[in-house]
Amino acid sequence: MARSTDLTARELRLWHACLKISEAVISQVARDVAEASGLSAADYGILERLVEVGNGRLRQRELAVALNWDKSRISHQLTRMQERNLLTRSKTAEAGSQVAITRLGRDALERARPIHARAVRRHLIERLTPEHAATILTLAGA
């Protein structure tokens, strides 16, 4: 027997459709970027936010907020990226960490950006009608 808190069949189909679309687009874009540049989706997201949000550097906590990641996830990912010399971390006077993109990280990001743009266009934008795009933008702003 269905409870009032259960999703209806239509709501469940809508939820699954949203998951299917978002997961397919995200994984296809990530695959294209990784194959062509060697950057994972996480690598790309961090480097892109460092440059776009922080002009090359951000406090680790601010970066985690910008990505909507928890403390453990960001810390582990930054350690892996630091080992590959894509970024540096340094302690701040306020007992936090400052994250900065390196020259190698900037170069990797610049090589990956056109690949990312082509992948987003191919796997998402070119598949949408102008009306669909407008609806998505409206929903995202709601």
Chain segment 43-73, per-residue pLDDT in tens:
999 999 999 998 999 999 999 999 999 999 9
The pLDDT of residue 39 is 97
Closest Cα to residue 99, out of 41, 28, 138, 51? 51
Structural domain spans, the chain: 41-141
Structure tokens at 52: 């776009």
Class of domain 41-141: mainly alpha
Q: How far apart are CA 84 and CA 102, in angstroms?
A: 10
Is residue 30 pLDDT above 90, yes or no? yes
Looking up tokens 């540049």, which residue turns up? 37
Residues 6+ apart with CB under 8 A from 70: 64
What pLDDT is attached to residue 96?
Answer: 85
With a cut of 90, say whether residue 2 has pLDDT above it: no
Contact 83, 46 (CB under 8 A): no
42-56, 67-81, 88-102: least confidently modelled range: 88-102
**Mean pLDDT on 96-113:** 96
